[in-house]
Structure 1
């Protein structure tokens, strides 16, 4: 029967700790490379686009804003036409702002209503 000395126990523990250190270092290098890759501008843009595609709230907000701006712009063009005086242009700008906000608020109410099955 072989007896294990304290030095042998210490040597074994040191060997195990060195193995653990090597494994942790490999994991750290891998995580560093993944982080470095994710911080590249191309990958940031790709992730942003992917998040945009998957986010219904962003799509709704974009739709509401686009409808509001388009409605306000068309209203202004109908009022002002090709040429107009300063008062008419100023009035058209105020009306465009009001119509844009009105349409955007109505679109928010429509898109926020729950869909009935």
Structure 2
């Protein structure tokens, strides 16, 4: 950095540094928003399923559907548990259906949100 000899130079340097600070702060906020989006439970599950598909080499929709149904079943057992009542059974089935459908859909919501921010 060059030495500053006048007040005008000092004010210009301050203004440049404030603009740089604002730009960097906006970049940090955007990065935090991206991290927050990726840490949502649904996105974590969806990303895990995609990684499993890539690692194992599943390319077919059938394999993805089976994994989605399995995760839906596990979510049902985890949230509702084994229930003797009919109401718990219905509630568990609804939870399983919702989770399975959400996981089996491609990541459309995160793509739409990222394109709307630009």
What is the TM-score of this pair, normalised by structure 2? Answer: 0.43
Give the structure with higher Rg (CA). Answer: 1
TM-score (structure 1 length as normaliser): 0.43
